[in-house]
Amino acid sequence: MTRSPSWIEDGSRHIWLPYTQMKTAAPPLPVVRTSGTRIELADGRSLVDGIASWWTACHGYNHPHIADAIRAQLEVMPHVMFGGLTHEPALHLAQRLAGLLGPGLDRVFFTESGSVAVEVAMKMAMQYWLNRGERGRSRFLVFKGSYHGDTFGTMAVCDPEDGMHALFKGLLAAHDVAALPVDDASMVALDAHLAQHADKLAGILVEPLVQGAGGMLMHSPVVLQRLRTLADRHGLLLIFDEIFTGFGRTGSLFAFEQAGVKPDIITLSKALTGGTLPLAATVASERVFDAFLSDNPGHALMHGPTFMGNALACAAAHASLDLFEREPRLDQAAAIGAALREGLAPCKDLAWVKDVRTLGAIGVVELTRIDDMNRLKQRLIDQGVWVRPFGRIVYLTPALTMAPDDLERLILAVNTVVAAGPP
Ligand code: PMP
């Protein structure tokens, strides 16, 4: 252990941390370096990162191919405004993403965070109807357990009861909240709801296969097929928020592939740049895009973040996509999934455990309750791993490149801490 550098104490008096009760939370861990699947702390400890920095660092940290691409782009042009100007990294990335998503997801609008990408998807869907002369479609159908971001538009499409923005209930725009159609009865109920209320809706918004920040709640691909059927039957746009699920996390490059259905609009971010720079994309079908083509300038999509299409971030995204092309990421995701399934299974028998579930390279241990979150987090850190439980769950979403020994260490740490019982 080395002495704490002065920037920790000096700066901590001025920083405001995310999702953190600043009065009671344990201080954050100061990080001085990352490499591969390790986080190195200022005091010299090295932690195995179990969540790849909120699911961004899919190739591990400091991948040389991504670092080289950012460096090369920095020499040429870090950024230019995207209003009236354009550049090869953004146009080529748009083409590349459209190619990966396949026909039906054709037009790419870049932003710099997931929340804003969802805001843009919502704006696209609402304006799609306005441009066609239909007013009054201001609501979305969203689902219990949903999470789509922290901005005001996206807070309103999070689960209003159990979601992390429940405090704001009643202050946000109103939307229709339903149970996911996981069986025939809920499908019939949703169909009936839409038969009555579809004319007030702009679209249906869902996180496909896994509702992430809502509690890592998983559903079958059939649910997405049902939503596509309902969207078509009731003439609604279908939006998949793949900010968490995109880029291999659920075992396929995109979650929608497992259902064999496509949304009209998709949102991507998180792993898009391999965990290096902020970038997000909202990708729409040509049908949605066409509704904005008009001789009326007022029909244009009125959105344009200052750092839209940032060239450094686009270069990083290209390099990340190169790695998905060149290296066996989906095989690695499958191997990690198998290890998580097998390795976390013993937790099932423990009294403190409500459920153990896995999908793709996601492993979840749901506990009956977490009373002392600080101590639980500390126990995991003491085991040499960085895992960030929330709600009632301890979850793992490691880099898809994690080597077997680090993965083993991670799984052992979760088993040990969960087996010890509530702190
Ligand atoms: N949608 C989903 C499904 C997410 O998981 C997140 C982030 N956890 C967001 C949107 C918001 O993304 P950001 O934090 O980049 O604004």
pLDDT, tens digit, 9 for 90 and up, residues 359-399? 999 999 999 999 999 999 999 999 999 999 999 999 999 99
CA of 270 to the centre of ligand 1 (A): 8
The residue whose CA is least distant from atom 8 of ligand 1 is 213
pLDDT band per the 50, 70, 90 thresholds, residue 30: very high
* Residue 5 confidence (pLDDT): 86
Q: Which CATH number fits domain 6-59+328-419: 3.90.1150.10, 3.40.50.410, 1.20.1260.10, 3.40.50.300?
A: 3.90.1150.10
The pLDDT confidence band at residue 211, using thresholds 50, 70 and 90, is very high
Q: How many CB atoms lie within 10 A of CB 135?
A: 8
> For this structure, is 377 an active site residue?
no
* pLDDT value of position 182: 98
Q: Which ligand 1 atom is at minimum distance from the Cα of 113?
A: 15
Q: Which residues pair with 34 in a beta bridge?
A: 39
81-115 pLDDT, tens digit per residue, is: 999 999 999 999 999 999 999 999 999 999 999 99
Question: What does the pLDDT average to over 175-195?
Answer: 98
Q: Is residue 70 very low, low, confident or very high in pLDDT (cuts 50, 70, 90)?
A: very high
Active site includes 270?
A: yes
Give residue 3 CA to ligand 1 midpoint distance, Å. 36
Residue among 19, 169, 331, 354 flagged as catalytic: 19
pLDDT at position 4 is: 80
269-319 pLDDT, tens digit each: 999 999 999 999 999 999 999 999 999 999 999 999 999 999 999 999 999
pLDDT of residue 135: 95
64-326: CATH, from 3.40.640.10, 3.20.20.70, 1.10.4080.10, 3.30.70.580? 3.40.640.10
What six digits make up the tokens of 303? 């959105």
Q: Is pLDDT at 1 greater than 60 in this prediction?
A: no
Ligand 1 mean position, distance from CA 318 (Å): 21
Residue 118 beta carbon below 6 angstroms from any ligand 1 atom: yes
- With a cut of 60, say whether residue 168 has pLDDT above it: yes
pTM score? 0.98
pLDDT at 3: 65
Percent of the chain exceeding pLDDT 70 equals: 99
Cβ-contact 111, 282 below 8 angstroms: yes
Q: Over range 143-163, report the average pLDDT.
A: 97
Q: Would you place residue 207 in the very low, low, confident or very high pLDDT band (cuts 50, 70, 90)? A: very high
pLDDT digit string (tens) for 219-236? 999 999 999 999 999 999
Average of per-residue pLDDT values in the chain: 97
Domain boundaries, the chain: 6-59+328-419, 64-326
State in Å: Cα 420 to ligand 1 middle.
32
Pocket lining: 111 vs ligand 1, CB cutoff 6 Å = no
Three-state SS string across the chain, please?
Answer: CCCCCHHHHHHHCCCCCCCCCCCCCCCCCCEEEEEECEEEECCCCEEEECCHHHHCCCCCECCHHHHHHHHHHHHHCCCCCCCCCCCHHHHHHHHHHHHHHCCCCCEEEEECCHHHHHHHHHHHHHHHHHHCCCCCCCEEEEECCCCCCCCHHHHCCCCCCCCCCHHHCCCCCCCEEECCCCCHHHHHHHHHHHHHHHHHEEEEEECCCEECCCCCEECCHHHHHHHHHHHHHCCCEEEEECCCCCCCCCCCCCCHHHHCCCCCEEEECHHHHCCCCCCEEEEECHHHHHCCCCCCHHHCCCCCCCCCCCHHHHHHHHHHHHHHHHCCHHHHHHHHHHHHHHHHHHHHHCCCEEEEEEECCEEEEEECCCCCHHHHHHHHHHCCEECCCECCEEEECCCCCCCHHHHHHHHHHHHHHHHCCCC
Atom of ligand 1 nearest to the CA of 280: 15
Confirm whether 61 is a catalytic residue.
no
